[in-house]
């Protein structure tokens, strides 16, 4: 009965319920008290349940993750490095601000899509899941796969405290499963306060400890560095497999090359005008984020997986690829503080901006309260405190050495968190989803 409907057919019903905040996503279809699945908000393509659609959407999503990693690693992050070098910032502040904002661009656009298009919890689930992923998995990757490095206690403590503040603020906002415009405004104001504190960070440190040395400044010019130099247009399109590459490496090169070719033809090299590269990278990320949300919604719809679980797992891991890559690179160079500040600072940006900005805009545009369907996400958000405490205690035990102890502790903690979060979603999710294919 509903198989021929598309998203336009449901708009009439949506407008009738606009003024009822407690049920703005629930629509009484033929006297059935159920909520429309998020898939109806996307184009009417691969909407009918089919294992072929699920498989195709899954592999398309995996390839989009690869494209997303290339955009961030080859264009957006290097452009941010040039910006930070121009502003003469310290490594830890650069990691907590511009680098964190650059690598969090996928989460921002995914939540914009989830807030304005799907009206579902996949955006919030992605932010919560990627926050845990950033703190624990990035620490695990850098601790296990890179040489041990001694970290400065100040930036780690500073960003951990702000991360705990952001978690507390988000928990208060989600406590009643309703997001009001002034609550979203408070999140953005807290991030502004965080930026002000970072601007004054060196002066604050001078009051409690010895002043910074000049060597801690971001003084390596990305344009002239010999290790991992910035790629030009020719380097992007003329790459070939390295001599002596095995079959798997050649296959991986063949898979990535079409994406690298298209991106090289549409985004100017960072060696040219890095502001233009940054802008076009953001445009690409917005398109990829929309497609990712669409394809993963198809996968979740066919497998009957709640949107929040898809966000906590696959989408969270995929959108955190830029953070993992950039943190691993800087940690391998010996800048462990920048790597951890990038991870923790990304989480602060995710909560304050990636959630607060879309929520505020939607509240002002539609003049209504935003309803969070998943009650388990409120509990999961509160559990984020444990992840921050586990990481910081690990650093205290290891005397702020990023090594294998912190790495393996973080990895085991992430696996346990993921199991508990998914079980909570399954047990506490009581939402009744309409079957749009039921006759």
pLDDT 10s digits, 284-333? 887 887 787 788 778 878 887 776 676 667 666 766 766 777 777 777 77
Question: Could you tell me which residue, 239 or 103, shows the higher pLDDT?
Answer: 239
Quickly state the pLDDT bin for 25 (edges 50, 70, 90).
Answer: very low
> Does the pLDDT at position 190 exceed 90?
yes
Residue 349 or 20, more confident: 349
Alpha-carbon separation of residue 400 from 9, 93, 135, 158, 221 (angstroms): 57, 18, 15, 14, 28
- CA dist 99 and 267 (Å) reads 19
Q: What are phi and psi of 33, to 5 degrees?
A: -85, 90
Where residue 69 falls among pLDDT bands split at 50, 70, 90? Answer: confident
User: pLDDT at residue 20 above 90?
Assistant: no
Say whether pLDDT at 334 is over 90: no
Most confident of 118-127, 210-219, 413-422: 413-422
pLDDT of residue 349 exceeding 60: yes
Q: Is the pTM of this model over 0.75?
A: no
Domains and CATH numbers, the chain: 50-208+244-428 (1.20.1420.30)
Whether 392 shows a pLDDT value over 70: the answer reads yes
pLDDT at 116: 73
């Amino acid at each position: 009965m509903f198989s021929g409907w598309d998203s336009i057919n449901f708009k009439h019903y949506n407008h009738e319920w606009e003024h009822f905040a407690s049920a703005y996503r629930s629509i009484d279809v033929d006297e059935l008290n159920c909520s429309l699945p998020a898939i109806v908000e996307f184009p009417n393509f691969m909407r009918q349940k089919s294992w072929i659609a699920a498989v195709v959407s899954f592999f398309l999503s995996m390839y989009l993750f690869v494209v997303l990693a290339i955009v961030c690693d080859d264009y957006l992050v290097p452009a941010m490095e040039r910006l930070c070098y121009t502003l003469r910032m310290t490594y830890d502040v650069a990691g907590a601000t511009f680098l964190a904002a650059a690598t969090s661009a996928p989460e921002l656009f995914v939540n914009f899509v989830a807030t304005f298009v799907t009206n579902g919890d996949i955006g919030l689930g992605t932010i919560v899941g990627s926050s845990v992923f950033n703190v624990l998995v990035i620490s695990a990757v850098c601790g296990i796969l890179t040489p041990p490095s001694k970290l400065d206690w100040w930036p780690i403590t500073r960003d951990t405290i702000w991360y705990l503040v952001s978690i507390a603020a988000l928990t208060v906002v989600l406590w009643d499963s309703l997001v009001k415009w002034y609550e979203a405004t408070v999140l953005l104001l807290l991030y502004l306060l965080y930026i002000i504190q970072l601007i004054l960070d060196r002066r604050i440190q001078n009051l409690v400890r010895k002043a910074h040395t000049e060597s801690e400044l971001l003084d390596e010019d990305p344009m002239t560095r010999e290790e991992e130099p910035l790629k030009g247009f020719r380097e992007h399109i003329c790459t070939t497999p390295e001599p002596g590459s095995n079959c798997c490496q050649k296959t991986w090169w063949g898979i990535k090359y079409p994406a690298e070719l298209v991106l090289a033809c549409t985004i100017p090299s960072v060696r040219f005008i890095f502001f233009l590269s940054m802008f076009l990278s953001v445009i690409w990320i917005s398109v990829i984020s929309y497609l990712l949300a669409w394809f993963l919604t198809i996968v979740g719809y066919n497998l009957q997986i709640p949107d929040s679980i898809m966000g906590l797992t696959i989408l969270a891991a995929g959108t955190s690829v830029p953070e993992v890559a950039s943190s691993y690179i800087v940690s391998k160079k010996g800048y462990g503080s920048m790597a951890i500040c990038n991870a923790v600072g990304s989480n602060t940006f995710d909560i304050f901006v990636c959630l607060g900005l879309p929520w505020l805009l939607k509240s002002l545009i539609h003049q209504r309260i935003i309803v969070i369907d998943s009650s388990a996400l409120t509990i999961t958000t509160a559990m984020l405190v444990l992840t921050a405490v586990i990481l910081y205690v690990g650093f205290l035990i290891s005397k702020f050495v990023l090594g294998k102890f912190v790495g393996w502790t973080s990895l085991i903690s992430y696996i346990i968190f993921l199991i508990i979060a998914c079980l909570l979603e399954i047990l506490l999710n009581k939402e009744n989803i309409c079957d749009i294919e039921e006759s």
